[in-house]
Amino acid sequence: MSNLSPEAFGNHFSEGDFEAIYSRTAAAFQNQMDLDTFVAAAKEFQDGRQFTLNLQNSLEPGIRRYQWLDEAKERMITVAFDGDEIIIGIQFDVYEKYGTDRELSINAYHLPFESEWFVLWGGNDLFLNYHYPYAHQRYAYDFIRKKEERSHSDDEGKNEAYHAFGSAVTAPRSGTVIHVTDGVADNLPGRPDMSKPEGNYIILSHEHDEYTMLAHLRKHSISVKEGDHVETGERLAQCGNSGASDTPHLHFHVMDQADPNRANAIRIQFADGQEPRQGETVKGRIRR
């Protein structure tokens, strides 16, 4: 169906036009899932429900993502379209929300970098934040840097081609360094090290029993040690590509105890009163 625009997807899905939808999917999608399998899965998921558009954004040039929810807000469809309005990805999920969304950190925090960065993952929703289903990282952020809408120059096989790699990582609030892991090699892009998920990382302790984690840092770039007191905006390390990271980016979250594997993430109260969300470009503190 040639007139199946991104905005019309929800109507077609709600009406059960699954073959028409499949006809608008890319060849790569069809190579992974045949028509009969797709129709069966879509029919089971739709189950008489009506879906409406809730969110949309763009994470890379030429690709637009859409989130559709059923009327009860129990089920979610994520659809990605390319610049020619061809569907390159469809994902069916349970739509979950948590009571902790209403609770903010006691402390206010600044963005842990200088200059402009792009929010790759962040928000209290699975569409916006793949960390969201997991209590220990539920309100975590992943940040990258972009220039002219691109995260890297032409040679994407090298970390140095990524604009985030080597950029300064700063303290989001004054506190004490209570853990440092360094010496983990930076991965080649596309080859994450799942055996050391955080890679090189720092944990800071703050007032009111709150803790921050800064992860995937560049090997041997950490300039502080355990026991050091740091001030808001102080440079601590450089962004890297270590641990469970496929391309250079900075992971940041606030938690309620020092052990990241046992802690619960806390939704962050930001010092400027704004809460970054996926797809936004945000500005860190200016170094003086």
CATH of the domain at 205: 2.70.70.10
| Rounded-to-integer distance, Cα 28 and Cα 215, Å | 33
Q: What is the pTM of this model?
A: 0.93
113 touches 163 (CB < 8 A): no
Residue 23 lies in a domain: yes
Whether residue 206 sits in one domain with residue 135: yes
Q: Which of 238, 202, 203 is nearest to 218 (CA)?
A: 238
Whether residue 112 sits in one domain with residue 85: no
For 171-217, what is each residue's pLDDT tens digit?
999 999 999 999 999 999 999 999 999 999 999 999 999 999 999 99
Whether residue 109 sits in one domain with residue 86: no
Displacement of CA 89 from its chain's centroid (Å): 17
- Give the contacts of 168 (CB within 8 A, at least 6 positions apart): 113, 114, 235, 237, 238, 239, 287
Q: Are strands 116-121 and 104-109 parallel, antiparallel or unpaired?
A: unpaired
Whether residue 257 sits in one domain with residue 165: yes
Fill in the amino acid letter for 203.
I
What is the number of other CB atoms lying within 10 angstroms of the CB of residue 193?
Answer: 17
Query: What mean pLDDT is predicted for residues 99-117?
Result: 97
Displacement of CA 178 from its chain's centroid (Å): 25
Domain boundary among 64, 94, 124: 94
For 36-54, what is each residue's pLDDT tens digit?
999 999 999 999 999 999 9
pLDDT at site 94: 95
For the chain, what percent of residues have pLDDT higher than 70?
98
pLDDT at site 84: 93
Domain boundary among 63, 94, 125: 94
Residue 169 lies in a domain: yes
Residue 241 lies in a domain: yes
Host domain of residue 70: 6-94
Whether residue 191 sits in one domain with residue 103: yes
Tally of structural domains, the chain = 2
Whether residue 38 sits in one domain with residue 126: no
Residue 87 lies in a domain: yes
- Confidence band of 140 (pLDDT split at 50, 70, 90): very high
pLDDT at site 281: 96
Residue 1 lies in a domain: no
Integer CA distances (angstroms), 176 to 168, 171, 173, 232, 271, in order: 19, 10, 10, 11, 19
Whether residue 131 sits in one domain with residue 262: yes
Whether residue 193 sits in one domain with residue 80: no
Name the residue with tokens 């050091």.
Answer: 228
Residue 272 lies in a domain: yes
Whether residue 204 sits in one domain with residue 75: no
Domain boundary among 94, 114, 130: 94
Q: Kindly tell me if the per-residue pLDDT of 161 is higher than 70.
A: yes
- Confidence band of 1 (pLDDT split at 50, 70, 90): very low
Whether residue 30 sits in one domain with residue 149: no
Angle of CA points 242, 244, 247, to nearest 5°: 65
Residue 147 lies in a domain: yes
Residue 288 lies in a domain: no
Whether residue 151 sits in one domain with residue 82: no
CATH of the domain at 44: 3.10.450
Whether residue 143 sits in one domain with residue 255: yes
